[in-house]
Amino acid sequence: MGLKKPKSVKHNGKRLSDILGAHDKFFSGKDGGVRADLTGANLSGTDLSGTNLSGAILENANLEGSDLRKSKLAHANLSGANLRKADLRNADLTEAVLPNANLSEAQASGIEFFRCDMANVNFQKANLRNTNFRSAILNGANFAGADLGVAILRETDLSQVDLSGLDLSTTLLPRGYTVAAAKKTSA
């Protein structure tokens, strides 16, 4: 089963390709531009690779199994979005808003999560290799079974995050953070 093209997907009676075209104009400051508001949109299994969704509103959107490789989602609002099994490799999510989003089993290696709000995000079994979480808000995030190899967690408050049971041997952790101390606080 192949991915759906933006031309074949509709949200609130409009084709997704038209919404994305208007968003490109908005982002470029051109006449006729409108910020993409995809609140609650069903975009599951959609090919959005390389798409510019910077600053878009995707609250509670269903992006399960979608291809978002190399997409631009900086400053996007993905609160409560379902990104389960989505392919986000090499996407830019700098300063995106993702509280309560579901990224379980997502392919998310090489992502910029710099200064993101990711409180209570579900990262169970996600591939998070080579990701940058610097200065991100991760309170209550669930990393059970996730791959955090070579991830950057420097300058990140991990006081309410359970990383026990994960291989953190190549992860750049905050200064003074130890796995032993983490196990004590999660017990």
* Distance (Å, whole) CA 116 – CA 99: 9
Length of the chain: 187
**46 falls within a domain:** yes
Q: Residue 78 contacts by C-beta under 8 Å, 6 or more apart in sequence?
A: 58, 59, 61, 93, 96, 97, 98, 101
The closest alpha carbon to 140, from 126, 123, 168, 160, belongs to: 160
> What tens digit of pLDDT does each residue of 72-112 get?
999 999 999 999 999 999 999 999 999 999 999 999 999 99
**56 falls within a domain:** yes
**100 falls within a domain:** yes
**26 falls within a domain:** no
> Given this model, what pLDDT does residue 187 score?
45
**From the CB of residue 12, how many other CB atoms can be counted at a distance below 10 Å?**
10
Whether the full predicted model's pTM is greater than 0.95, yes or no, is no
For the chain, what is the domain count? 1
How much is the average pLDDT of 9-21? Answer: 97
How much is the average pLDDT of 24-31? Answer: 95
Q: Tell which wins on pLDDT, 102 or 177.
A: 102
**185 falls within a domain:** yes
**162 falls within a domain:** yes
**19 falls within a domain:** no
Q: Is the pLDDT of residue 185 over 60?
A: no
* Distance (Å, whole) CA 90 – CA 131: 9
**29 falls within a domain:** no
Domain that holds residue 137: 36-187
Report the CATH number that the domain containing residue 43 is assigned in CATH: 2.160.20.80
